[in-house]
Amino acid sequence: MKMRIKLLILLAAVCALAAVLAVAASAERVLPSDPGVERVGENDSLPDWYPVTTGNFPFYHDEDAARIVDRADLFTPEEEKALEQRLADIRGEIRRDIVIYTDVTDYGLGKDILAADFYDFNGYGFGDEREGVCLFIDMDPDDRGGWTCCTGSDTRGLYTEQIANLIDDDLYYYLGEGEYYDGVSAWIGDFYRLYLKGDPFLNWLPDRDVKFERFHDEGALRVTDFTDELKESEIKELSESAEEVADKYGIDVVVLVTDFTSSLDLKEYAEKYYKYNGYGVGDDYRGVMLCVDRSAGNDVEILTFGDGVRMTDKARERMTDHLRDRIGSQGLADALKNWIGEADHLQKTGRVPRTFGSWLGTTVFGSILGSVAGFFGLSGAKRRMAVPRTQVNADAYVVAETLAIVAVSDRLINTSTSRVYAPVTRSSSSGGSGSSGGSSYSGSYSGSSGSSHSGSGRSF
C-alpha cells in the first residue's frame, strides 16, 4: 500500500512537471490566443511559430503575447521582465506595438522577411493596419545583424530613411559592443519618442496628439548652448546683452548653438525651436533668431519673425559672414557678442556696420583702383590733347566745312524708363544630422503574408 501511494505521488509530480513544461513551451511560442492556425513544428526547417499555410493568413491581435522573445538568450530573466513591463506601459499609453525577437538564424528567409513574418504571424499590431514595429536581432556567428520592420501607415510614415539611420546609429553601436540590453532599451526609447513627438531626439517638440497653442515664455533662455562650449559666465553675459536689445526694440532676441539637428535642416530646426519654446513678442511673436550648427562647419541661420524686425538679405548675408569670420579668429563667445551688437545696430539704423578689416580693405582697394584709373586716364588725355596757336579772332579757330548747325527736336521729356525688380533668393542651409547612413533601407516590401512593411537593417 505504501509503495502504491509513493508511486501515485511520483506520478502526480511527473504530471505536474509536464504541465509546467507545456505552459512554458506555449509561452515561448507566444501564441496563447492562437486562432486555430496550424504551425510548422519544432523539427521543421522553419521556426516553430511559423504557420503551415501563409496564404490568406487570418491576422489577429494578441494582447497577452510576449513582446520580448529571446531565442538567442541575449537578456537575463530580470532584463527580459523589465523590458516586457516597459513595453506594456508604452502599449497602454500610445496604442502601438513594439516587439523584440532574437534568434541565431534567419532560417534562410532573410532578416527583413523574418522580422515581417514574426510580426505578422504572431498577433501583433493595433488597429486595421496593425500599427507597430518589430526589431529582429540575428546572432548567426557568420552573419550577425538586425532588421527593424515597420507596419502601418503612421509607423512607416514616421520611420523615414534619415530617421532610420539615426536610430540605427544608436542601436548598432551598443550591439557591436555586446551591450544588448542597453542597446534594445535605447532603441525602445527612440521609438517611443518617435511615436510621441514625431522625432526621437528633439525632446522639446510638443506631443503629436496635443493641439499646440502658441505662447510667450518670459522665462525662456535667450541663449542656449547644446554643445556645452560656452562657459556659464559667457552665457550669462550674452543673455543680458540679448535681453537689453530685446527690451529696447520690443522684439525677442534668441541665440541657439547646436551640433545636432536630427532629421531637420538647420532652418527648419531653428523655426521649430523658436515656435515651440515660447519665443516672440506680441500677437505676431516678433523676434530675431541666430542658430549656429557647429557640426557643419559653422553653418548659420538668421531668422526673423513677425512685423517690425529690420533685416534685409544684404544685412543677413553680411552678419553671417562676419559671424563665421569672428568664430574662427575670436572664438564662439566673442563672435556671438558681436552678433548681438550688430543686431542692435541694425534695429537702430537699418544697416549692419562693416568690420574694420572690411572697411580698411575696401578703402585701400578703392584708393589703389582710383589711382590706377586716374593715371591711365590722364595719360590718354595728354596724348589726345593738341594746344592751338593764339588767333586774332574766334573765326580763325573754325576749320572750314567741319561745323554745321541744324535744328533738332528734344524729346527727352517724353521718354519713360521702367525697371523690373528681381528679388535675390538665398538657398536654405542644411544642418548636419550626425547620421552615418550605414543602414540598408526599404520604403516598401512584403513579408510572406503579402502585407506591406518598411524597414532598415545593418550588420554588427
Sign of CA dihedral 170, 176, 177, 178: positive
Q: What is the model's pLDDT at position 418?
A: 28
Cβ–Cβ < 8 Å for 163, 261: no
Tell me the mean pLDDT per 10 residues along the chain, length 460. 49 47 42 70 85 91 97 98 98 98 97 98 97 98 98 98 97 98 98 98 96 94 97 97 96 97 96 97 97 93 95 96 96 97 96 60 42 49 50 51 44 30 28 61 96 97
CA dihedral defined by 27, 28, 31, 33, rounded to 10 degrees?
10
Residues pairing with 459 in the sheet: 145
Q: What is the model's pLDDT at position 389?
A: 52
Residues pairing with 453 in the sheet: 445
The three state secondary structure string of the chain is CHHHHHHHHHHHHHHHHHHHHHHHHHHHCCCCCCCCCCECCCCCCCCCCCECCCCCCCCCCCCCCCCEEECCCCCCHHHHHHHHHHHHHHHHHHCCEEEEEEECCCCCCCHHHHHHHHHHHCCCCECCCCEEEEEEEECCCCCCEEEEEEECHHHHHHCCHHHHHHHHHHHHHHHHCCCHHHHHHHHHHHHHHHHHHCCCCCCCCCCCCCCCCCCCCCCCCCEEECCCCCCHHHHHHHHHHHHHHHHHHCCEEEEEEECCCCCCCHHHHHHHHHHHCCCCECCCCEEEEEEEEHHHCCEEEEEEECCCCCCCHHHHHHHHHHHHHHHHHHCHHHHHHHHHHHHHHHHHHCCCCCCHHHHHHHHHHHHHHHHHHHHHHHHHHHHHCCCCCCCCCHHHHCCCCCCCCCCCCCCHHHCCCCCCCCCCCCCCCCCCCCCCCCCEEEEEEECCCCCEEEEEEEEC
Cα–Cα distance for residue pair 388/92, rounded to 1 Å? 105
Q: What is the model's pLDDT at position 401?
A: 52
Cα–Cα distance for residue pair 226/245, rounded to 1 Å? 23
Model's pTM, two decimal places?
A: 0.75
Q: What is the model's pLDDT at position 296?
A: 80
CATH annotation of 22-207+439-459: 3.10.310.50
Cβ–Cβ < 8 Å for 185, 100: no
Cα–Cα distance for residue pair 94/52, rounded to 1 Å? 33
Q: Parse the chain into domains and list their residue ranges.
A: 22-207+439-459, 223-349
Cβ–Cβ < 8 Å for 296, 266: yes
Residue identified by cell 541661420 is 301
Q: What is the model's pLDDT at position 413?
A: 30
Cβ–Cβ < 8 Å for 450, 457: no
Cell of 85: 513591463
Class of domain 223-349: alpha beta
Sheet order of strands, 252-258 included? 223-225, 252-258, 287-293, 299-305
Cα–Cα distance for residue pair 362/34, rounded to 1 Å? 81
Domains 22-207+439-459 and 223-349 share a fold: yes
At 452, the amino acid letter reads S
The torsion angles phi and psi of 272, rounded to 5 degrees, stand at -65, -40
